Amino acid sequence: DQQVKQNSPSLSVQEGRISILNCDYTNSMFDYFLWYKKYPAEGPTFLISISSIKDKNEDGRFTVFLNKSAKHLSLHIVPSQPGDSAVYFCAASRLGGNTPLVFGKGTRLSVIA
Amino acid sequence: KAGVTQTPRYLIKTRGQQVTLSCSPISGHRSVSWYQQTPGQGLQFLFEYFSETQRNKGNFPGRFSGRQFSNSRSEMNVSTLELGDSALYLCASSPWTGNQPQHFGDGTRLSIL
């Protein structure tokens, strides 16, 4: 049973446009969500996080939105750059709890120049 | 500040053998988690160690084991290797258990022949 789902395996976006990556979760106990970016032959790099007390968190070109009632979060990248081409993983956990991160299967983003 | 270091980067083994992977966390980080990444499966949690104690274990057979030393360095061991164990094994560290985000190493690519 997949608790964190990224239903789009891949996404292509033109440079300068907005990239929107989506993530759904089923476990209502999750209250902390993270996005990681992964380049080939490298480990995942933390991008941005959000706790359930907020519905939006921004960091430069990256914004994460959380819709708790829909159990849905999204990552917006504006404007998209070719260097953003990577696999993006959504992860969920319980902040401060003794629960490990649960990852989605990832979405491969390709930003076309 | 040095990142998470995993050794070796690449490893080739045959079925039935055993293997030990090593992880040195970021200095000062006391929690180390291990993940398995296979194509199309995202990152699956193996176990977490904190202060030399296993805090959490994922849904993997007993052939997968780990330990943590007093300097927070960690090793994971896989015995009686199977073809399906071929994967990228990632280690992540954080200052405290339940403290996110985790910082990942670049992984060990294990191939079973």
Beta strand spans in chain B (E): 5-7, 10-13, 19-24, 31-37, 43-50, 53-57, 64-68, 74-78, 87-94, 103-104, 108-112
C-beta atoms of A105 and B101 within 8 A: no
Q: Does A43 touch chain B (CB under 8 A)?
A: yes
Residues 6+ apart with CB under 8 A from A104: A2, A4, A5, A6, A23, A89, A90, A91, B42
Contact status of B39 with chain A (Cβ, < 8 Å): no
A-B contacts (CB, under 8 Å)? 61
pLDDT digits (tens, 9 = 90+) for A38-77: 999 899 999 999 999 999 999 999 999 999 999 999 999 9
Q: pLDDT tens-digit profile of B20-58?
A: 999 999 999 999 999 999 987 889 999 999 999 999 999
Chain A contact present for B102, CB below 8 A:
yes
**B8 interaction partners in chain A (CB closer than 8 Å):** none
Q: Are B73 and B24 in contact (CB under 8 A)?
A: yes
pLDDT tens-digit map of A19-35? 999 999 999 999 999 99
Report residue B3 as tokens.
């990142």
Instruction: With cut-offs at 50, 70 and 90, classify the pLDDT of residue B3.
Output: very high
Please tell me the distance from the alpha carbon of residue A36 to that of residue A104, in angstroms, as a whole number. Answer: 10
